[in-house]
Structure formats: C-alpha cells, structure tokens
Copies of this chain bind each other. A is one copy, B any other.
Amino acid sequence: MSRPQDRGDRGGDRSGDRGRGQNLVAPRPAAKDTLRVVALGGIGEIGRNMTVYEYNGRLLVLDCGVLFPEDAQPGVDLILPDLRLVEDRIDDIDAVVITHGHEDHIGALPWLLRLRRDLPVIGARFSLALIAAKCREHRITPNLQVVTEGERRRVGDWDLEFFAVNHSIPDALAVGIRTPAGTVLHTGDIKLDQLPLDGRLTDLGGFSRLGDEGVDLFLVDSTNAEVPGFVSPEREIGPVLDGFIASARQRVIVASFASHVHRVQQMLDAAEKHGRKVAFVGRSMVRNMQIAQELGLLTVPDGLVRSLDKVLELPPHQVLLISTGSQGEPLSALSRMSRGEHRNVALTEGDTVILASSMIPGNETSVFTVINELSRLGVTVVHQGSAKVHVSGHASAGELLYLYNAVRPRNVIPVHGEWRHLRAQSKLAVLTGVPQDRVVLAPNGTVVDLSGGRARIAGHVDVGMVYVDGNAVGDVGENTLSDRLILGEGGFIAITVAIDGHTGRAVASPTLSGRGFSDDPKALSAVVPLVEAELAQLEADGITDTHRVAQAVRKVVGKWVGETYRRRPMIVPTVLAV
C-alpha cells in the first residue's frame, strides 16, 4: 500500500528552474555581522543531515549525509541533501566539518566532492577513515584534515572547537563555531553515557565552559526528545549478550549496526570468554571492523576472528557470527539465512540469532519478517522487544536537560528530527528557561539569521528531494514517484492501436494488455469491442489526430475498468498512424 508522504519539506523543487545565484539568499543576502544558518537536510526528517553556515560571504558546511527512502519514494536508493543550493557557491565553502561517520552524516559527501574535489573535509580519525573508504568506492581522493576532541582550529574566519561526545560510533564530535556575529554549538548526534566503554565522556565540562563564554545558538539532536528519562549505559548490553552466548549450545549469530564498534567489542569479549571463534559477515561489517582495529578502537585477541569458511568448519558451539542485516534488508546475509538461501550458513533448530539493534522506523515489517522466518526454522531469536540487547545512541529527555543546563543557550534550533521530535525538543528548551520565541523551528530551507544575540527566521529557500536511483541522480522526481505509486497499486493497461493516418481507419485490431492488473488472461476481453466501437466512431467523425484518438481510447477503457472492477490502473494508450 502506498503511504502519504511527509509533505511540506518533501514537496521540494518540482519546477527545476530555480534561478542560479539565489542560493541561501532569500529574501536577501545576509547582512554584515550576521551569521546565517540554513539546513539543507535533517530538520523535519531523520537523515541527510547538512547544515550550511554563512558569515561574511564565506560558507562552512556541517555534515553531508543521506536519507533513506520511505514507502512514498519507491525504487529510490538514497536521498541527498539539495546540493544545488551550494553548487554556485562551491568556491565560497571553507570546509566541510563532519561530526561522525554514520551514513546520515557522511553519505552524500561523494556528490558534494564531485562539485569540488579539493574541499577540505575536517573530522575525527574514525570518521575520516570511513569517509576515505567511501570515497575510494566513488574513485575520489578526498582532502581530509584530522582533528581531535579538545582541539581548537581556525579555518578561514571560522574559529572552531571540537568536543568529545558519545554516540553509537567511536570518535563523535560536537562542534563549537565562534564568529564575530556570535557563537554556535552544534551537538551532532549525542548522548551522555556516564559509563562509556572507552571512557570517552561527552564533554559536558567543555560545553559548560563555552556556555560561560556565551552560546548564542544551540543546534541540538532531537531524535529522542520525546522519550522520558535516560538511555542506559552501553555497558549494560555486554552481560546480556554474554548470558545468551554462554547458554547457547549451537551457533550464535549477532546482527548489529556495522559501525557500532563498542557493541562489537562486547561480542568479541564474550566470544573469547566462551571459547567461540568469530567471523564478520557483511561487507560493511568486515570493512569497518578492520578500520577500527587498525585505529586501535577495537581490540581483537590473536586468532579470535577468522574467515567465515574457517569458522564454519568448527563445531556449532564454537561459532559466533557478527553480521549486518539487523534492519531486515532482504539481500543481507541474515535475511538470506532466515530464508534458508545463504550460500554457506544453513541455520537449524537450536541456533540463536540476536538482533542487537533498534528497529529504524519504517523497517518494522522487514525485521519481523526475518524474525518470523527464523522462528519458523526453530531458531531462538532474541531482539530488543524481548531482551535488553540494544540501547539508543541518542540522548533522551533527561540527558537533554543536562545539556541545556550546561550550555545555557540564548537561542535554540532543534535538529535531527521529525516534527514530533522538534516540538518535544522545543518544550525541553523552554522548561530550562529558553524563551519560547528564542526556540526556532527551522525545517530544511529555513534561513535563520543570528545577529545581536538574537536568532530570527529571515526567509526560506526551496529544498528539494534529490533522489539517487541506480547510477543516476536527480532525474527521478515527483512525477516519476507518483507514477510508480499508481503502477504499484494498480498496474497498468496498455492499448495499442494502429490507424491509417489519412482516413483514421484502424489497420489492425486493437491490442490490450494488462500488467499488474489481473491474473485472469480474459480480464480485459470485454472491453475490446468497446474500443473497436469507439475507433469506428472516431473514423466516422473523421478524427485522425493520434493524440485525440489516444485520449478517446483512454477514456473508454478507464471508464469501463472503473465500473467493472472498481480499480484504477494506469491506462496507457499508444496510437500509431501508419
């Protein structure tokens, strides 16, 4: 079934005729001593995070991620931020600053770098290593500049400071941006695990110090703003995984996000403790864990991790597979295993699968399909709904209150969230003393100007949805998606007619065929005489224009199918004049 799409900031630029040079400027260029902020993605949606800062004619880009499509965007592989808005000003960009290496923060970088290959990309080690790997696949050599938490760095006129934050990936950073027009703190994705596995705490002290100095504008992660309380420490997951691995008598497969190094570390520790050898399954898992190991972020005892072939030679109780596919992706190794279609791994009754992951909204059906298939096989399935095998990477409301009280911002823009999250974030800001009119709800394309310590909406620019489908970008737009939704619901009926271009006489019987309409081969036979009668009438009326004939035929067939079937397939007439 099709679902209504999240409209408004999804309507986007359908005309494609936006004048060049209008970028980020509506209704007028930023005044001197004004810091301008425009999100090209990530506000009003979860994904494709990209925020553009402008001061004194120069730009700073923060993050450049992708959005994964919903049901209303069928066939689309990825959605990019609307890079057309910076295309004309690509040489004004001083740098792209990356908060962390998740796809919704780095995934669109290759498309930005194609516009200018030498753009400096600034970020922490692990983030840049993931970007380097991604760019290799796109045959781009990026200009990477490593920073670490605690560091302060000048980039053009931008005075940047980097703060450690914890999240569900190593090396995440928040970014302080000092400009003569005011100071910004942008959290990126953040939580406040007070017992992080690597000891790398979110730098609340640093935030507090910046707050003492004065934070004029606070852009803060809203993903879990609706959720009361606090996220449990990541280290509470380890003993739960350990318990399941300890009691399993056969193979154990744990599926997890491929960049969640600390989660994987806990699995490796449990494997070693219980005499299991480990294989990584899934391209991104293999790649990321190798990078993490090289950077010293993952500790792998000698001989613990082996190739899948080698591990599968061991007795079942010595096997632990760490796999991607936690979102039920149909082509993932885990999905294939659940359907009994994996080339190497045939799961059997008594095996254990642990989904140490959340269900990203929209993926519930896919994930439950995998769980049901595994259950059918007799596999014991453990998931977030049945055991504490996952904690979120985003601060809940309780943690967000700590942030507000440390930062004491003068103005707030909730980021990284759908409208429900932005509203919840707004309430938290107000509870901690931010005046309601200083909380700026600024969905993608909203131009916010900070001057005199006050953030105000200065206008809007159109932010479109830029779809990647196959290897082409941008040619799939709302018309194509709308057609796909119609075709996906009701299929189509094609009618082909050949007429004599001079007389309008039909020179062959009309051909009718439906696809996605009915399994009944005779479903359309009753309408053929109606089409023939219409053609005869058109000929009698002397109508030879193929377009008019096509319209008439469409009308006859559409009316008939509506009355006969109460369905609305696409009706596609083709009239050839020969």
List chain A positions with a Cβ less than 8 A from chain B: 1-8, 44, 69-71, 73-75, 226-227, 328, 330, 335, 339, 361-362, 364-366, 368-369, 371-373, 375-376, 378, 381, 385-386, 418-420, 422-423, 469-472, 475-481, 483-492, 494, 496, 498, 507-508, 511, 513, 515-520, 523, 565-567, 570, 572, 574, 576-578
Contact = CB atoms under 8 A, between A and B. Distances in A.
B496 A574 contact: yes
Contact of A576 (B4, B339, B477, B576): B576
A309 B481 CA distance: 38
A420 B384 CA distance: 14
Complex A-B, nearest 7 residue pairs according to Cβ-Cβ distance, in ascending order: A488-B488, A470-B566, A487-B487, A477-B519, A483-B516, A375-B419, A484-B516
Contacts of A578: 498, 507-508, 578
Contacts of A519: 475-480
Contact of A372 (B6, B328, B491): B6
B484 A491 contact: yes
A368 B420 contact: yes
24 contacts: A3-B365, A3-B366, A7-B339, A44-B376, A75-B516, A361-B365, A361-B368, A362-B365, A373-B419, A378-B423, A475-B519, A476-B519, A478-B519, A479-B519, A480-B518, A480-B519, A483-B491, A483-B516, A484-B487, A487-B515, A494-B494, A496-B496, A498-B498, A515-B572
Contacts of A517: 480
A420 B372 CA distance: 5
Contact of A567 (B4, B74, B470, B494): B470
A75 B489 contact: yes
A522 to B, nearest CB: 10
A476 B71 contact: no
A361 B361 contact: no
A373 B471 contact: no
A523 B487 CA distance: 19
Nearest to A563: B471
Nearest to A68: B1
A485 B74 CA distance: 9
Given A480-B519, A484-B487, A516-B483, A364 B362 contact: yes
A570 B479 CA distance: 18
A226 B385 contact: yes
B487 A491 contact: yes
A520 B467 CA distance: 13
A261 B7 CA distance: 34
A366 B4 contact: yes
A476 B5 CA distance: 26
Contacts of A372: 6, 418-420
Contacts of A470: 565-567
Contacts of A364: 361-362, 364
Contacts of A515: 483, 487, 492, 570, 572
A376 B8 contact: yes
Contact of A565 (B472, B492, B577): B472
Nearest to A478: B519
Given A365-B361, A491-B483, A496-B496, A1 B71 contact: yes
A280 to B, nearest CB: 24
Contacts of A479: 519
A91 to B, nearest CB: 28
A475 B523 CA distance: 8
Contacts of A366: 3-4
Given A366-B3, A470-B567, A487-B491, A518 B476 contact: yes
Given A368-B420, A470-B565, A578-B507, A487 B498 contact: no
A481 B487 CA distance: 11
A477 to B, nearest CB: 4
Contacts of A471: 565-566
Contact of A375 (B423, B484, B491): B423
Given A476-B518, A576-B576, A365 B330 contact: no
A376 B443 CA distance: 10
A537 to B, nearest CB: 21
A173 B71 CA distance: 38
Contact of A475 (B71, B371, B481, B520): B520
